[in-house]
Chain A
């Protein structure tokens, strides 16, 4: 796919799947859909920062959904993004209320989400906890895991990328890092409970 100024919905979905087109796709998601979603959040009591954060989370969830092949294109991307944003924001309001923040509620027109969005919302807090655990592993662990599982680089490529001695060193480091992450997940009771519920589904 060549670089273009604007993608159609189907081209955008395709661009998300291509490594060198992802950045352009994200820019389009922000430029084409960001304003409406952000306006919605700010119109429902959110600050500008809330709107920015929620829309970023929306874009991440959308890309993840597309990459997992779960995005059904019957509804347009705009509709889907707005729906995720709304649900994330309502979820955030509830979370803050639980945390004791006395913020005005704007959930009267809460829309029942579809299964994909339910999944995004359902795993929101867990993903946040797991992301924090990954950060705690340190930069080199995070980098190796990301290069291997996200960038799909081979061990050989990672060796040259990160200047390790040889592939075996990287392989051992990767095992260790993943093990550390799963150990952290098991040791956190809140995360472990949610993970166990997910596994049993």
Chain B
């Protein structure tokens, strides 16, 4: 044998030896512990190469599976994040809309706005009583507010009706303090003959609003709203509790 023994052993493992060479080497392996040992090392080296190759294949599959798992998880994450973002957007829009509505309400609701919405001119056709053709009534129908007040001032005996018409005339002329005083007298007059108490309560509340006496106005309006039999209940109940709250906050 001319080849070094190490190379022969490799050729033996690779099955490159002729039958004669193989037989000769096997004899040597049987009788020479060192050569047998070298063959053992060689076998283990080749086994290591194979094992390492398998390990490489498994590592590649493991990495690929991990990558696809990451991709999937990332897609799910993006999906959740998208849903979360969309949810947040909807919530934000909702909050903005609600906020805007509240802000709009807060800005637009005032003593004046409530007064404008709630004030209905008192019509004499609705009058209760028989004396509806006197000068004061005529002046009222003609919307001659100053004359109504003047005639009222000259009256020696002031009826509930003339007091109420005078109060309404003062209200029309934006003399709120005077109107309040006349209305309040009628409100305080609890006699059964007073046909104008409920009218006076409602218009007095409106006069208080314009005179920036919100607490008094709200108290009176709430009283009317609490009494379904009140003549002005349908009108007063149109004013929302929120509007009254805003007026209270703004004062």
Residues of A within 8 A of B (CB): 22-23, 26-27, 30-31, 52, 56, 59-60, 63-64, 67, 127, 130-131, 133-135, 142, 145-146, 148-151, 174-175, 178-179, 181-182, 185-186, 195-196, 198-199
| Smallest Cβ-Cβ distance to A196: which chain B residue | B37
**How many inter-chain contacts with C-beta < 8 Å in the A-B complex?**
93
Question: CB within 8 Å of A: which of B22-80?
Answer: 36-38, 40-42, 44-46, 48-62, 65
Q: How far is the CA of A34 from the CA of B52 in the complex (A)?
A: 21
Residues in chain A near residue B44, CB distance under 8 A: 130, 185, 195, 198
From B40, B55, B58, B59, A198 is in contact (CB under 8 Å) with: B40
Quick one: given A26-B61, A181-B48, are A150 and B40 in contact (CB under 8 Å)?
no
Residues in chain B near residue A134, CB distance under 8 A: 48-49, 52
| Smallest Cβ-Cβ distance to B38: which chain A residue | A182
Does the CB pair A145–B57 fall under 8 Å? no
Q: How far is the CA of A22 from the CA of B61 in the complex (A)?
A: 10
What 5 new A-B contacts, CB under 8 Å, besides A23-B57, A23-B60, A127-B48? A60-B51, A60-B54, A130-B48, A182-B6, A199-B37
Quick one: given A27-B65, A146-B53, A199-B40, are A181 and B58 in contact (CB under 8 Å)?
no
From B45, B48, B57, B62, A52 is in contact (CB under 8 Å) with: B62
Residues in chain A near residue B187, CB distance under 8 A: none
Quick one: given A27-B65, A131-B55, A178-B10, are A64 and B49 in contact (CB under 8 Å)?
no
Q: Is residue B155 within 8 Å, beta carbon to beta carbon, of the partner chain? A: no
| Count of chain B residues with a beta carbon within 8 Å of a chain A beta carbon | 29
Q: How far is the CA of A31 from the CA of B36 in the complex (A)?
A: 43
Does the CB pair B49–A150 fall under 8 Å? yes
| Smallest Cβ-Cβ distance to B65: which chain A residue | A30
| Smallest Cβ-Cβ distance to B3: which chain A residue | A175
Does the CB pair A175–B10 fall under 8 Å? yes
Residues in chain B near residue A148, CB distance under 8 A: 14
Does the CB pair A195–B40 fall under 8 Å? yes
Min CB gap A1→B, angstroms:
17
From B36, B41, B51, B62, A182 is in contact (CB under 8 Å) with: B41
Q: List 9 A-B contacts (CB under 8 A).
A: A22-B57, A23-B60, A30-B62, A31-B65, A52-B62, A134-B49, A146-B53, A148-B14, A195-B41
